[in-house]
């Protein structure tokens, strides 16, 4: 069963992401997140943004010249997407408005309902956004041939738009077609994941959850599946507990439906 490797030395594209994560974690002094200890995401988001602005200024990470003056609406909920003529092999993304993507949260009060109602999305913090971007490299795209894709997700820098800090990232262009639901199911099951609900999978062995795994976010490139725009999370706390409970609930329901 393919598993996620632990890299001894992060590749160059991961180093700035790792620094950004450390900057965000430094605002609390520990590794807290919504899925772990209880925190107020709104106040934590403000602290992280302030720390990132200072860090970006100190390291000259503002890249306004990289972003077009006018950005077309890409009709995605988290990013504007654009191409840069100097690097046609990559897609560039900028977080929309004041947002930092979304983050799945557990709803403990809905346990009496079917599992599909146990989770909801809330606005992510910068820490959660950067952690998921790094996890995409280390846990989702790590099986790719690096000769074909020498650089995976990369933090390019930041811009200030209407007084709001936004992250600019890039990723390879993947030439293929949207993966079919059956191909995606096979890919996740072969790697130890359990289906939780539409677009969501969970691997109990290491607590890795993958959300937003729908056709537009997983490409089939010459029969090689590439989950390039999913939301991976190494879960903890209430989210981890809810996902384990969801696996148990779904397994018991499956057993009742097929007692043989």
| Ranges of each domain in the chain | 12-257
Is-contact 100 128, C-beta < 8 A? Answer: yes
Interval 186-201: pLDDT, tens: 999 999 999 999 999 9
Which spans in 3-125 are helix H?
Answer: 12-25, 41-58
Interval 231-254: pLDDT, tens: 999 999 999 999 999 999 999 987
Interval 65-107: pLDDT, tens: 999 988 877 778 899 999 999 899 999 999 987 889 999 999 8
List of residues 6+ apart from 96 with CB closer than 8 A:
77, 78, 79, 80, 166
DSSP H or E segment with residue 190 = helix 181-190
Q: What is the value of pTM for the model shown? A: 0.90
pLDDT, residue 36, reads: 45
List of residues 6+ apart from 242 with CB closer than 8 A:
106, 107, 108, 118, 119
């Amino acid at each position: 069963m393919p598993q996620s490797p632990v890299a001894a030395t992060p590749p160059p594209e991961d180093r700035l992401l790792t620094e950004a994560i450390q900057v965000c974690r430094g605002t609390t002094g520990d590794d807290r997140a919504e899925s772990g200890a209880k925190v107020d995401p709104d106040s934590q988001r403000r602290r992280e943004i302030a720390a990132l602005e200072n860090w970006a200024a100190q390291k000259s990470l503002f890249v306004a010249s990289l972003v077009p003056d006018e950005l077309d609406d890409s009709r995605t909920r988290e990013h504007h997407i654009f191409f840069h003529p100097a690097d046609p092999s990559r897609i560039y993304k900028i977080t929309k408005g004041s947002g930092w993507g979304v983050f799945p949260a557990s709803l403990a009060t809905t346990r009496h309902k079917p599992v599909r109602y146990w989770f909801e999305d809330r606005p992510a913090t910068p820490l959660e956004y950067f952690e998921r971007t790094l996890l995409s490299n280390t846990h989702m795209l790590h099986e790719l041939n690096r000769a074909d894709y020498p650089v995976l997700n990369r933090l390019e820098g930041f811009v200030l738009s209407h007084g709001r800090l936004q992250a600019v990232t890039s990723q390879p262009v993947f030439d293929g077609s949207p993966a079919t639901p059956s191909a995606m199911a096979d890919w996740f099951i072969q790697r130890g994941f359990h289906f939780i609900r539409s677009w969501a999978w969970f691997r109990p062995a290491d607590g890795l959850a993958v959300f937003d795994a729908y056709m537009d976010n997983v490409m089939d490139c010459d029969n090689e599946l590439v989950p390039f725009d999913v939301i991976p999370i190494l879960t903890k706390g209430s989210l981890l507990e809810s996902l384990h409970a969801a696996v148990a609930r779904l397994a018991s329901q499956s057993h009742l439906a097929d007692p043989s």
